[in-house]
Each structure stands twice: as structure tokens, then as C-alpha cells.
């Protein structure tokens, strides 16, 4: 693990009306690791993720990407810098096929005159999508059916594969297996590992402590808008994590 975090939040604060969602929160994630971000409801996880992925802006504090301070103008700007989020609703177009979804907003057009008129190069899109799925060992029932007719796990895989295609640094995943059954959960977990093995950092938001212990390399705990613990895989236990979430010491623990 390198010393410089890939993506870091320093003393980030955010207030919504009367609610102080984040109060000088810190966060760091390193390349090629799975980092779990946990905390009780209202701890500020979603807000932190939104700020780090460009969907919102902090009131105070800094965001550093590879050590350099950045200002994320929006989710698309963040994506161009290599940061993407897979939300719980997956943001897939249910009637479109998997390859169409992968290229949503970035459709490949043919060359020449036809390209300027906007004619799609479906063959190329399908080929590149197939390569991406193969790279991540994602096997779909059929690449041509609308994604709505795929299983929940396969839909999740398509959403993750899409994020991994366009973001090469950090992918945030919000409760990726919350709605899935046992077998599908296992497959998605494999996929998340594959993404990490490709060199992409994964930040996992999860309420499932067992799962966190199973796959996370590190865990960062948020409570009442502040980071209160950074726990390595070797030191993580379910009781310890729950305790960190619910009864925080006054200061942040050292990593």
C-alpha cells in the first residue's frame, strides 16, 4: 500500500439547513484496495460519497486526488478524473441491452460522414463490451436482451462493469449486494475483487458487517460526521466494528 492516498478528504464539512452532515470528516483510500466505509444511519456516509464523487461540494475542507488538491465540478468531471459511483438504483436503462448501457452517454459512432451524422457502430460497442465483461469475468445470460430481464446480480454486474470501464481510479459502491440473494451476492463479491485486481480502488458502503470483514482490505468508520476509526483487515471483528460505529471515542484513532 503506497503512502499517498489515491483519493483523500481532509476536514470536510457540510451542512444542510440545521443538520451538520459532515463535521471535519477525513477519509482516504489507496490504490488497488477495497475500503469499506461504514457508519450508523445519519453518520454522513452518503454525503461524503457524494462530495468525493463530485455530486456535491463541501462547505469547507479539501479533496486531494493522488496528492494534488482538486475541485470536482460535477459527477461527469469526476468521472473524467477517474472517479465513478455505482448507486443503489444502478442508473441503468432497463429497456436497453447491456452493451448499450455500458456506452450510455459515450456511444461509439462510425467513422467518416456517417459518424458525423451520428450513426452508431454497434458492432464495435458490442465487441468492446464483450471484452470488458470478459476482463471482469462477468457472464451474462445474454448480452442482447434488455437488462431488465437479467437477474439482480447480473444487473449489478453490468453497472459495476460500466463504472470500471470509464473510471480507472476509484469506484464508490453503495450497498451493492443489499437486494441480492446468496448466490448472486457471491458472484458480485467476486466481481468487486476482480475490479480491485485491475488496479482500481473500490470504496464499499455497507451495513453488512460480515460482508465487510469478508472482502474489505481496510475499514473506515464514520460517526456523526467525523472519521472515528481506521481498522485494518487483520484487526477487524464484527463486535469491534459495531462498537466503533455506535460508541465513538472523542478523537480519531490512528490508522
Partner 1 sequence: MNWSKSAAVRESCATPDACATDPQQTLYERLHHFAGGGWILILLLVLVAGFWIARPAQFGSTYNLTMLAVNAAILLVLSVGQTYVIVSAGIDLSVGAVLVFSSVASAQTMLWLSGEPAGTFGTTSGGWGVIAAGLLVAVASGAAWGALNGALVALVRIPALIVTLGSLGMALGLAQVLTGGVDVRAVPDLLVTQVGNGTLLGIPMLVVIAALVAIVAAIALHLTRFGLQVFAVGSNAEAARRSGIRLRRRIVSVYMLSGMLAGLAAMMSIARFSTTTINGHAMDNLSTISAVVLGGTSLFGGVGTMMGTVIGVFIPIVLLNGFVILGIPPFWQTVAMGAVLILAVWIDQIKRRVRQG
Least separation in angstroms between residue 109's CB and partner 1 is 6
Q: Which stretch binds partner 1 (CB under 8 A): 39-47, 137-145, 197-205, 247-255?
A: 137-145
User: According to CB under 8 A, which one of 2, 149, 198, 246 is a site residue for partner 1?
Assistant: 149
Q: Which is nearer to partner 1, 62 or 106 (CB)?
A: 106
CA distance 69 to 167: 19
User: According to CB under 8 A, which one of 81, 97, 201, 209 is a site residue for partner 1?
Assistant: 97
Return the biggest CA–CA distance within the chain: 65
State the binding string over 26-65 for partner 1 (x if CB under 8 A, else -). Answer: ----------------------------------------
Q: Look at the block and give the residue holding cell 475490479.
A: 195
Contacts of 241-249 with C-beta under 8 Å, sequence gap 24+, read: 241/38, 241/209, 241/212, 241/213, 242/209, 245/38, 245/39, 245/40, 245/43, 245/221, 246/40, 248/221, 248/223, 248/224
Q: Which stretch binds partner 1 (CB under 8 A): 39-47, 64-72, 141-149, 215-223?
A: 141-149
For residue 224, state whether it binds partner 1 (rule: CB under 8 A): no
Q: State the cell numbers at 42.
A: 445519519
Question: DSSP secondary-structure letter at 217?
Answer: S
Q: Which is nearer to partner 1, 36 or 173 (CB)?
A: 173
* DSSP run (H or E) holding 246: helix 238-246
CA distance 103 to 112: 20
Q: Which residues contact 119 (CB under 8 A, 6 or more apart)?
A: 109, 110
User: According to CB under 8 A, which one of 90, 138, 170, 244 is a site residue for partner 1?
Assistant: 90
For residue 89, state whether it binds partner 1 (rule: CB under 8 A): yes
- Phi, psi of 37, deg, nearest 5: -110, 110
Q: Which is nearer to partner 1, 69 or 107 (CB)?
A: 107
User: According to CB under 8 A, which one of 94, 181, 199, 249 is a site residue for partner 1?
Assistant: 94
Within residues 103-122, the interface with partner 1 by CB under 8 A covers 104-107, 109, 117-120, 122
Q: Which is nearer to partner 1, 70 or 96 (CB)?
A: 96
Q: Look at the block and give the residue holding cell 479539501.
A: 62
For residue 181, state whether it binds partner 1 (rule: CB under 8 A): no
Q: What is the DSSP string of 199-249?
A: T-EEEEE-S-HHHHHHH-SEEEEEETTEEEEEEEGGG--HHHHHHHHHS--
For residue 134, state whether it binds partner 1 (rule: CB under 8 A): no
- Phi, psi of 158, deg, nearest 5: -65, -40
Instruction: Say how many C-beta atoms besides its own lie within 10 A of residue 135's C-beta.
Output: 14
Least separation in angstroms between residue 205's CB and partner 1 is 17
Q: Which is nearer to partner 1, 62 or 131 (CB)?
A: 131
Positions that interact with partner 1 (CB under 8 A): 75-76, 79, 89-97, 99-100, 104-107, 109, 117-120, 122, 126, 142-146, 148-149
Amino acid at each position: 500500500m503506497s503512502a499517498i492516498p489515491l483519493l483523500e478528504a481532509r476536514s470536510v464539512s457540510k451542512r444542510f439547513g440545521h443538520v451538520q452532515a459532515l463535521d471535519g470528516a477525513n477519509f482516504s483510500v489507496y490504490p488497488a484496495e477495497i475500503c469499506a466505509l461504514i457508519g450508523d444511519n445519519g453518520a454522513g456516509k452518503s454525503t461524503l460519497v457524494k462530495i468525493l464523487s463530485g455530486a456535491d461540494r463541501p462547505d469547507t475542507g479539501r479533496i486531494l486526488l493522488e496528492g494534488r488538491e482538486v475541485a470536482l465540478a460535477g459527477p461527469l468531471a469526476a468521472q473524467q478524473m477517474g472517479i465513478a459511483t455505482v448507486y443503489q438504483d444502478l442508473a441503468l436503462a432497463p429497456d436497453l441491452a447491456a452493451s448499450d448501457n455500458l456506452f450510455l452517454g459515450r456511444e461509439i459512432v462510425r467513422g467518416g460522414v456517417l459518424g458525423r451524422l451520428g450513426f452508431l457502430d454497434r458492432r464495435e460497442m458490442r465487441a468492446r463490451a464483450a471484452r470488458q465483461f470478459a476482463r471482469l469475468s462477468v457472464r451474462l445470460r445474454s448480452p442482447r436482451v434488455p437488462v431488465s430481464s437479467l437477474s439482480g446480480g447480473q444487473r449489478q454486474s453490468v453497472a459495476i462493469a460500466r463504472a470500471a470501464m470509464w473510471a480507472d481510479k476509484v469506484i464508490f459502491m453503495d450497498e451493492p449486494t443489499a437486494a441480492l440473494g446468496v448466490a448472486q451476492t457471491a458472484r458480485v463479491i467476486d466481481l468487486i475483487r476482480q475490479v480491485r485486481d485491475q488496479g482500481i480502488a473500490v470504496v464499499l458502503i455497507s451495513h453488512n458487517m460480515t460482508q465487510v470483514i469478508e472482502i474489505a482490505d481496510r475499514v473506515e468508520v464514520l460517526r456523526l460526521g467525523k472519521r472515528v476509526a481506521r481498522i485494518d483487515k487483520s484487526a477487524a471483528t464484527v463486535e469491534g466494528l459495531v462498537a466503533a460505529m455506535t460508541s465513538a471515542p472523542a478523537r480519531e484513532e490512528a490508522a
